[in-house]
Amino acid sequence: MARFHYPCALRWSDMDAYGHVNNVRFLTYLEEARVEMVTALTDDGATPPDLATGILVVHHEIDYTAPLVHRRDPVDVAVWVTDVGAATFSLAYEVADPGVVYARAASKLATYDLREDRLRRMTASEREWLGRYRDDVVVS
Amino acid sequence: MARFHYPCALRWSDMDAYGHVNNVRFLTYLEEARVEMVTALTDDGATPPDLATGILVVHHEIDYTAPLVHRRDPVDVAVWVTDVGAATFSLAYEVADPGVVYARAASKLATYDLREDRLRRMTASEREWLGRYRDDVVVS
Amino acid sequence: MARFHYPCALRWSDMDAYGHVNNVRFLTYLEEARVEMVTALTDDGATPPDLATGILVVHHEIDYTAPLVHRRDPVDVAVWVTDVGAATFSLAYEVADPGVVYARAASKLATYDLREDRLRRMTASEREWLGRYRDDVVVS
Amino acid sequence: MARFHYPCALRWSDMDAYGHVNNVRFLTYLEEARVEMVTALTDDGATPPDLATGILVVHHEIDYTAPLVHRRDPVDVAVWVTDVGAATFSLAYEVADPGVVYARAASKLATYDLREDRLRRMTASEREWLGRYRDDVVVS
């Protein structure tokens, strides 16, 4: 229905010797947005999904479309769900300011039981939670 | 002809709260291997290619296949060239110990003139340099 | 007169394998607050001080007083000026939530000319700028 | 008796927008050397000390004496023990190449029981272990 928007604070130290935000840091921005989205899912008083307790990254892909330089204002990281399976789900992301997209990305993630140290199936409730941020627009 | 092998030292601080090397750090390992490969190209006394002065990341993709935990021994990062264009080239990577692959990845990169702040075509010499690490096996 | 307060966003990846914000990351928080303070000095329309163009760290010291765990709310990093010399100045910091101090720290910094690659004396104007955040309370 | 020497691999991404290894990264180098020293203590077949299972940083101080730029060779981080108490111990460090010292530092650390989430006294065996790297030369 809706994309989750995370205003991600840049750090001066995110820049590398080229004076741009390092390409690897973008993946950290995606991670922070993802963690925030999962945490935000628990905000309305319902039982928090176990999602927050363990997610394993299976796959990432990212296209860099414009250089980003440190500034005081946060950058918007949009995250949304593109697919939900039995024990995996897929996300898409866009890191952008109004009028300029810095990166587009996609991830495949798996639900993971940290204590048992193995993958686990999602519950119906978790799949429903993820459905809130479902958007079928796939990163091109 | 040959893959470049970079013995990448792990850092304890590469682990996240799950007690595994964080997924984002793998991209740092790829970056370090890539920088080493380009620097190593200059080792035999010939004029260093301008490659070392500016490479822009256009695209990354990575599959995580096994969790990696900090230990004292480095992990092997193999890097090789899969395609060379006019102003771009493609790399593939494998992060592995003997018998276990932690991640497979691929990047597209562009040659970049830092002083002029714009993309630039590669020289014949640079394309030749890159050819040393050409290997047609593509990450599956 | 007044301390500068920087609401520092935590990142999930700031935590290490102990599940706490890693001790080293606190220094990054100090750095971000310092950069913000110097940038904020330029906010009132006057000529920005050259401070923003090059500051070298000469010394840090930090006491850790309580563990910090990742959460969605930022942590307050207070920064203030404790001494201003000819080519150096000193800062003190406190990383805290209401009622709990996580770390107290102090730094000595030197003004640095990046283009000339050497230390340089501060201008009267820069010393005046720094005076805005002067507070004589020294970290105990 | 002897200082522990850790050959610390630099990462290209350790450099910040100034083109030097970022001041904060030096603390990561100290951490890696410290972790290696504690791990190395277990190398001779004796029971590993619980030191490796939980150390809390209480205090750091560091003097930066020369800028460090990324290169392929590791930098030497010397670590040694300057004091051993009931539940705390102190380390000194020197980050250097032959003929040039980049940083000198000191830390106070506390032994910590991760499972019980509280400080704990060191065992006689641990104090003996630490004694191997005792050196009374204090960082000036």
Q: Is residue B99 in some structural domain? A: yes
Q: List the chains bordering chain C where 3 or more Cβ pairs fall under 8 Å.
A: A, B, D
Query: H/E element holding B31?
Result: helix B23-40
| Domain that residue C22 falls in | 4-131
Q: Which residues of C touch D91 (CB under 8 A)?
A: none
Q: What angle do CA C123, C129, C131 make, to 5 degrees?
A: 105
Q: Which tokens is A97 given?
A: 């300011």
Tokens matching residue A85: 């399976």
Distance of CA D33 to the CA centre of its chain: 5
D139 assigned to some structural domain? no
Three-class DSSP category at B68: coil
Q: Are B74 and B36 in contact (CB under 8 A)?
A: no
Residue C18: inside a domain: yes
- Best of C62, C65, C77 to disrupt the D interface (most D CBs within 10 Å) is C62
Give the mean model confidence (pLDDT) for residues A23-48: 81
Answer yes or no: do B17 and C16 touch at CB < 8 A: yes
Alpha-helical runs (H) found in D41-139: 124-131
Question: Which three-class secondary structure state does DSSP give residue A19?
Answer: coil
Tell me: pLDDT of A52 over 70.
Answer: no
Rounded to whole angstroms, how far apart are CA atoms B62 and B24? 10
Q: Which residue of chain B comes nearest to C22, CA vs CA?
A: B13
Q: Give percent of chain D with pLDDT exceeding 70.
A: 87
The answer to whether residue C9 is domain-embedded is yes
Q: Which residues of C109-120 are buried (b: 16+ CB within 10 A; e: fewer)?
A: bbbbeeeeeeee
In angstroms, the CA C28 to CA A15 distance is 13
**pLDDT of A68 strictly over 50:** yes
3-class secondary-structure state, position B134: strand
pLDDT in tens, D30-66: 999 999 888 776 555 454 566 766 889 999 999 999 9
C97: its two tokens: 């939530």
Q: Which pLDDT value is given to residue A45?
A: 46
- Mean pLDDT by 10-residue block, N- to C-terminus, for chain C (140 residues)? 90 93 98 88 56 85 96 95 94 97 97 84 86 72
pLDDT for position C103: 98
In this structure, is residue A98 part of a structural domain? yes
**Percent above pLDDT 90 for chain A:** 61
Is A140 a domain residue? no
Subunit contact D13:A16, Cβ cutoff 8 A: yes
Q: Alpha-carbon distance D34 to D6, whole Å? A: 9
> In chain D, what residues touch B77 (CB-CB under 8 Å)?
none
Q: How far is C119 from chain D (nearest CA, A)?
A: 12
Which among A43, A109, A111, A119 has a CA at the least distance from the CA of A81?
Answer: A109
Number of Cβ atoms within 10 Å of the Cβ of B72: 12
- CATH no. for residue B105? 3.10.129.10
Say whether B99 sits in a helix, a strand or coil.
coil
Instruction: Tell me how many domains chain A contains.
Output: 1
A55-64 burial code (b ≥16 CB/10 A, e <16)? bbbbbbbbbb
Whether A138 is in a domain gets the answer no
Put simply, the answer to whether D13 touches A24 (Cβ < 8 Å) is: yes
For residue D138, pLDDT over 60 is answered with no
Q: How far apart are CA A69 and CA A102, in angstroms?
A: 10
Q: Is residue D140 part of a domain?
A: no
* Interface of chain B toward chain A, CB-CB under 8 angstroms: 18, 23-24, 27-28, 31, 54, 56-64, 67, 114
